[in-house]
Amino acid sequence: MIHACSIRNLKKEYVLKSETVRALRGVSFDVPEGDYVAIMGPSGSGKSTLLNLLGCLDKPSSGELLLGKDNVAHMSDNQLAEIRSRRIGFVFQSYNLIQQLTVVENIEVPLYYQGRLGAKERKRCIELAERVGLGERLTHRPTQLSGGQQQRVAIARSLVNDPYFILADEATGNLDSKTTAEILALFDELNDEGRTIIMVTHEDDVAARAKRVVRLRDGLLQSDVMNDPLARKAAAAHALDPVVETADEQAMHQPTTAPAN
């Protein structure tokens, strides 16, 4: 089986003043190509540290982190920057779009920094915008888009380099329930197409859509459980159910002026 990434006895320690904080204390698991993993855990569990390591934003104290066949655990900062730009697609809670750029230009950003933005690449960026449902918003800027549309731009941008995996950090944290359902449906479609997704979340409803749920606690792997396929389908169907207002909520929408005599 080919793995998008493999984690072997990963440890991370920080020294704060005179105290050593053991954020990760030996975590191991594999993410096969085409997997969809939700990483969960309470505050202080180590999930943010693991996210930074998976994203090559930090280096572990010990252990191995393989992206494909390459161990990136002790690469130089320049090597890690190259890995980040070419092998990992990031989707953040706050979208991280450049406000002065259009939809297509934001998708092009990773290619621009790599110095490989030609006609072929621009065409691919337009195709990715269309793939995420923004074909009619190509020249819009972030301020002209809803939160869900901005996150779609971020997802398209994450795909532009054909990454080993998409790393999503609380990707639906700023979205309402309807928009969350739409973004998760897009992730489902991408995973069905073979895309590998690793998502950090604190929401059980979001984690229910993944194939696996990895839970951390106190810097250790607490559990690694497969979600039942039927339960995943049920969670997706439930997310699309129309919201039924309570009587109090319905009353709030009624006119408050008295009828004319």
Q: Which domains does the chain have, with CATH numbers?
A: 3-95+165-243 (3.40.50.300)
How many residues can be counted in the chain?
Answer: 261
C-alpha distances out from residue 99 to 105, 140, 142, 254, Å: 10, 10, 6, 38
**What number is the average pLDDT over the span 223-232?**
95
Neighbours of 59 (CB within 10 A): 16
| Per-residue confidence (pLDDT) for residue 256, from 0 to 100 | 44
- pLDDT (tens digit, 9 = 90+) per residue, 148-196? 999 999 999 999 999 999 999 999 999 999 999 999 999 999 999 999 9
Distance from C-alpha of 160 to C-alpha of 131, rounded to nearest angstrom: 12
11 φ, ψ to 5°? -130, 145
Name the average pLDDT for the chain.
Answer: 91
Q: Which of 153, 155, 156 is CA-nearest to residue 144?
A: 153
Q: Residue 158: its pLDDT value, please?
A: 97
Query: Regarding beta strands 88-92 and 212-217, do their DSSP bridges make them parallel or antiparallel, or are they unpaired?
Result: unpaired
Pairing verdict, β 165-169 and 88-92:
parallel
Which class for 96: exposed (0-12), middle (13-18), buried (19 or more C-beta within 10 A)? middle
Instruction: Give the residue, 239 or 201, on which the prediction is more confident.
Output: 201
Split at pLDDT 50, 70, 90, the class of 4 is very high
> Given a cut of 60, is residue 247 above it in pLDDT?
no
The mean per-residue pLDDT over the stretch 133-139 comes to: 96
pLDDT for 1 beyond 80 = no
pLDDT at residue 242, as a whole number = 63
Q: Residue 240: pLDDT band by 50, 70, 90 thresholds? A: confident
pLDDT of residue 194: 96
Residue 246: predicted pLDDT: 44
